[in-house]
Chain A
Amino acid sequence: MTRRVVITGVGAVTPLGVGSDALIDRWSAGECGIADGAGRCREFEPLDFLSKKEARRSDRFAQLAVVSAAEALAQAGFAEELPYEAHRVGCVVGTGIGGLPSLEENQRKLIERGEKAVSPLAVPLMMGNAAAAAVAMRHQLHGPCYGVVSACAAGAHALGDASRIIRAGDADAVISGGAEAAITGVATAAFGAMEATSPTGISRPFDARRDGFVIGEGAGILVLEEKAAAEARGAEILGELLGYGATCDGFHLTAPQPEGTEAARAIGLALSDAGRTAVDVDYVNAHGTSTPLNDRSETVALKAALGERAGDVPVSSTKSAVGHLLGAAGAVEAIATVESLRRRVAPPTVGWEEAEEGLDLDYVPGVAKPIENGDGPLLAISNSFGFGGHNAVLCLEA
């Protein structure tokens, strides 16, 4: 029997606030969490949720993951006791960079005070799998557990991998998503030096005036479960992760392939994996970074993959409301997608005002709009593309 993958819990910490409701409610209302040119989780206080020791032993990206996971696991009914044997529950969490603040702090100590000043915690704090490890430790999970690193596609790749683990029968549930907290001196300077980030500090995907992405931080964690098992235990099913497509441009270290060929193929793979076609798509949660290159090539890719349907489907970018959460983006956007479908509303691309020639899809300007398609479940794709040419697309239903 084919094993299917459903979502039974979601949790997020984003620049729009602590909790997945803050994300979807505020984004749907057209709010933006960006301030002073960055999407910081200003409402997040680690010690509200973590012991002093837990907080000291986690870099900020791992802290964000642990708190998001706690929300997701509570919603899924995993918080008190796991509904499966612990070895049947895995944990896969993506990140673009990992514990960069710890790396920078210890580099500073090394230079200023020498080797003996470097913390023995430096390695476990900075390692890219630290978020997965922290979540698994807190909930004593013993299934497959690792980090996924694919720049800005990491969150989506993690969820794709997690769904494959369940489908293959290696686990009955996987706690999965992405986490990032890299608004540091080095990262900010480096993204600025490569002219990837917006000099105006404004995230306005698909708008003619867009001038780069706005760096953000946050985490999104989902509880994925094998459908029959989730139904058997009477879990509330929020949505289904129906399909996953992953490809690589193999083209340029940072620039997307202008024709979006491989991005389009990833969309097609996700749809065929889901057993659906372009006409079934009701909503697109775009990667939509607000960089001149991405938003153009993504639009081309959507037209190639969806054909005539592309012009009829609302396409909006969560990054207009929170900035670019790098390795957390794909997971936070998967949550935003599922919650949008559940509310049957496409949140807006906040700040979109000026069209550019060729960028002529329905980017949902101004205010949220209803997703129209009868009363049945709605289908969406969520795109994530990372430096390195990594493309990961999820097909979600709710």
Chain B
Amino acid sequence: MAGSAPDKEEQNQMATQVSSENVEKVIFDGMVELGTERDELSREATLEDLDVDSLDLVELAQIVEDEFGVELRGDDVKDVKTVGEVINLVVSKAG
């Protein structure tokens, strides 16, 4: 049917558009889900200050991959210090 919304299968295959804003939203929401307080979140906040450790990062990587199809490995994030760097990394890997 012309003009109809894409069916469910097509929707699933369409990765969310990888804009910096979209990635920020997904990562912020993901971090809140993992236990970070939303009002502590900013791009400048360091992972250390937010008490985000290696286990959080692998869970976050899982969320990112689900959402954007971007695969992050442990090596990719080992030197990342701030939330903004995580967001930039996802955007750059998607590009």
Contact = CB atoms under 8 A, between A and B. Distances in A.
Interface of A: 51-54, 56-57, 116, 119-121, 124
Interface string B41-76: 000000000010001001100100100000000000
A124 B62 CA distance: 17
A52 B35 contact: yes
Contacts of B51: 53
A119 B56 CA distance: 11
Nearest to A118: B62
* Secondary structure type dominating chain A contacts: helix
16 contacts: A51-B35, A53-B35, A53-B36, A53-B51, A54-B35, A56-B34, A57-B55, A116-B62, A116-B65, A119-B59, A119-B62, A120-B55, A120-B58, A120-B59, A121-B59, A124-B55
A57 B65 CA distance: 21
Nearest to A113: B66
Given A53-B34, A53-B35, A56-B35, A121 B55 contact: yes
Nearest to A56: B35
A119 B59 CA distance: 7
Interface of B: 34-36, 51, 55, 58-59, 62, 65
Q: What are the 10 tightest A-B residue pairs by CB atom distance, in nearest-first order? A: A53-B35, A52-B35, A120-B58, A120-B59, A56-B35, A120-B55, A51-B35, A121-B55, A53-B34, A56-B34
Contacts of B65: 116
B74 to A, nearest CB: 10
Nearest to A124: B55
A85 B69 CA distance: 49
A224 B59 CA distance: 37
Contacts of B34: 53, 56
Contacts of A54: 35
A124 B53 CA distance: 15
Nearest to A55: B35
B13 to A, nearest CB: 15
Contacts of A120: 55, 58-59, 62
Nearest to A54: B35
A351 B78 CA distance: 59
Nearest to B58: A120
Contacts of B36: 53
Scoring B35, B58, B59 by chain A CB atoms within 10 A of each residue's CB, the highest score goes to: B35
A56 B51 CA distance: 14
A131 B51 CA distance: 21
